[in-house]
Structure 1
Amino acid sequence: MRLRLSRRFATRATASTAHTSSGSHGLALARNEVVARYGEDPLRSEVERLRWRDHFALNEYVLDIPGLHPEHDGLRVAQLSDIHVGQATSDVRIRRAVAAVNASAPDLIFLTGDYVTHSPKPLPRVREVLSGLAGPVFVVLGNHDHWVNAPYIREGFERLGYTVLQNEHRVVHVRGAPATVLGIDDGRTGRDDVEATFRGAPTTGTRLVLAHTPPTVEKLPPYAGLVQFSGHTHGGQFVVRGLTEKLFRRAGQPYIRGHYAVRGNQLYVNQGLGFGFGGPYLRRGTEPEVAFFTLRAAPALQPVA
């Protein structure tokens, strides 16, 4: 069980400090510096570079998954998390991220919560800036969404044709085989119900879990070949070595960014697209991220005696 860095999307990339955790490999992160990466840029000229506040990393990984359906060896997944539409995140960055996802043509697209922050004012813009994702899109909600207006956000995504999962699962046929997407509601606000999410779901094959808060992984069935995609932490937001991890552990958030092996399953914690540079919230030691994953079949794991 491991996460392998496959390649990086970057021009004149600046690598940040590699992050490692128990059961994971180092993740080299790169900055997306050129706006016209995928053809003609409708917003700016080809040679003009993004302002610092519009930067984000495009990171590509390989996930080895026990029990993956053979037809899904090579399946591609894209993940966006913690968008925080409003003054914390520029619209240019969000639309650029949507374009980057579509250019990669993933088989599945996951949105893992926190589309707003505290104010309801940006609510109408959520559907606008996150529209146009091409492919099956699955959505879970985060704590900020529940604090602001979760029903409004759910309705907006459903109007776009995206599937919102609140302690629900869906079976989607992709590349000729079924994949089960299990969406657990937000744990920070106490709305997570793992039992309800898994009730009636397939117990074998490709099973991918979405949950905004990383510690939800500890509630999953152990050694089940599951992968959970989460966000919430913004990669630590303002990283001071030693101190940030200590504070997050005290807050019940031991999983900050990157890949973890937990009770025989896997967890990936996205650094989030929002709360980036140039806004009211400082970032240090972590970059806004769009994550891409190629799934590979791996031998089934056995519990350690």
Structure 2
Amino acid sequence: MLSFTQHTLKSQLIPKGFHGMKILQFSDLHLGYYFSLQHLSQIVSKINAENPDIVLFTGDLIDDYQTYTEAPFVASILKNIQAPFGKFSIYGNHDHGGYGTEYYDHIMRESGFELLHNSEKRIRLLDNSEISIFGLDDMLLGKPKIAETLQHAKQNIYTIVLVHEPDIAPQIATYPINLQLSGHSHGGQVQIPFLGAIITPSLAKEYTEGFYNIQGLTLYVNRGIGRTRVPFRFMSKPEITLFILQHS
């Protein structure tokens, strides 16, 4: 059963004009591995029902690009996601695997998503107030340029970084970043009472789900929606996250 989690993000750096703005994060669909286009259509409907202002996808669209045969139909579904202030995505490790790099880029652009590849996007209102969203390439299979990209982050602007793997957070925390949004972990996908997550991929072993504070950086790890390696989840519900910005 899909879990919708909602959280308020408070900061003096969030401009008054952004107060109440809704940012939705979804992650790790892994299309093709027990996750169909019909499932994707249902997710899109659920996303639109929340009326988000900004939508962020934090990687791993298709499980295996070499074997997935329905990739040409994905964009026509994803493009139905509505977000008046923009839709943004980053690479996950599966998006680079199986020669998926160019295909993922094509699908996301056809879907109306701006792919943040070691780059920044400023969201600016008519009063010229703004927030910043950075996106880094995948830490495992991509070519992330952390220093080169984040050196442009400003102390006086509320700044979000999208990076697929959460365990890079201590390095992100050395820059003036307010919020890191990640996926990759699947919340462990399978959790055992009193033991916790037992399936944790590389760079998702320290931070597996929910909120963390690392040297002043707020990290949120989304459990994702799909599955990989094993065809089920246990005590790790698939998740879509809605963040409400609050000027305080």
Which TM-score bucket, shorter chain as reference?
Answer: 0.7 to 0.9
Q: Is the 8 A contact 1:245 1:254 kept in 2?
A: no
Q: Which residue is 2:239 aligned to? A: 289
Report if the CA contact (8 A) 2:12-2:247 is conserved: yes
Q: Is the 8 A contact 1:85 1:126 kept in 2?
A: no
What's the CA shift string for 1:15-54, capped at 9, x where partnerless?
xxxxxxxxxxxxxxxxxxxxxxxxxxxxxxxxxxxxxxxx
Aligned counterparts, 1:226-237, within 5 A: 226-237=178-189
Report the equivalent of 1:6: none
1:89-168 correspondence runs (5 A): 89-120=35-66, 121=68, 122-135=70-83, 136-148=86-98, 149-168=100-119
Report the CA distance between 1:238 and its aligned residue.
Answer: 0.3
Which residue number corresponds to residue 47 of structure 1? none
**Higher CA-based Rg:** 1
State the shift of 1:129 in Å. Answer: 3.2
Structure 1 stretch 249-258 or stretch 259-268: which is displaced more? Answer: 249-258
Aligned residues: 242
1:145-195 Cα deviation digits (max 9, x unpaired):
101311111122112321101111111224742221100111122522221
Instruction: Report if the CA contact (8 A) 2:24-2:242 is conserved.
Output: yes
| Whole-angstrom CA distance in 1 between matches of 2:111 and 2:173 | 32
SS in 1 for 2:121: strand
Evaluate the alpha carbon distance shift between residue 241 and residue 65 of structure 1 in structure 2; reply closer, same or farther with a 3 A threshold: farther
Over aligned residues, Cα RMSD in angstroms?
2.5
The correspondence for 2:210, drawn from 249, 253, 258, is 258
Q: Secondary structure at the match of 2:192?
A: coil
Q: Is 1:188 paired with 2:136?
A: no
1:108 & 1:297 partners in 2: Cα distance?
Answer: 17
Once residues 187 and 58 of structure 2 are traced to their aligned partners in structure 1, the CA distance between those partners, rounded to angstroms, is: 14
**TM-score when scaled to structure 1?**
0.72
- Structure 2 partner of 1:64: 10
Question: Against the structure 1 CA distance between its residues 113 and 169, is the aligned structure 2 distance closer, same or farther, given a 3 Å change threshold?
Answer: same
Q: What whole-Å deviation, never above 9, does each CA across 1:218-275 have from its counterpart, x for those lacking one?
A: 1124483510111001111000145444774986621001111111010111111111
Percent of aligned pairs sharing the same letter: 26
Structure 1: distance between partners of 2:61 and 2:125 = 27
1:267 counterpart = 2:219: yes
Single out whichever of 211-220 and 123-132 deviates more from structure 2.
Answer: 123-132
Q: Which has the higher contact order (CA 8 A, sep 6+)?
A: 2
Aligned counterpart, 1:171? 122
Residues 273/112 of structure 1: CA separation in 2 closer, same or farther (3 Å cut): same
CA 1:280–1:254 in structure 2 vs 1: closer, same or farther (change >3 Å)?
closer
Structure 1 residue 131 displacement after superposition: 2.1
The gaps in structure 1 that reach 5 residues or longer are: 1-54, 299-305
Displacement, 1:66?
Answer: 5.0
Q: TM-score, normalised by structure 2?
A: 0.87
Q: Kindly provide the amino acid, as one letter, of the partner of residue 111 in structure 2.
A: L
Within a 5 Å distance, the mapping from 1:29-68 to structure 2 comes to 55-68=1-14
Which amino acid in the other structure matches residue 29 of structure 2? I
Q: Secondary structure at the match of 2:159?
A: strand
* Aligned counterparts of 2:78 and 2:119: Cα–Cα separation in 1: 22
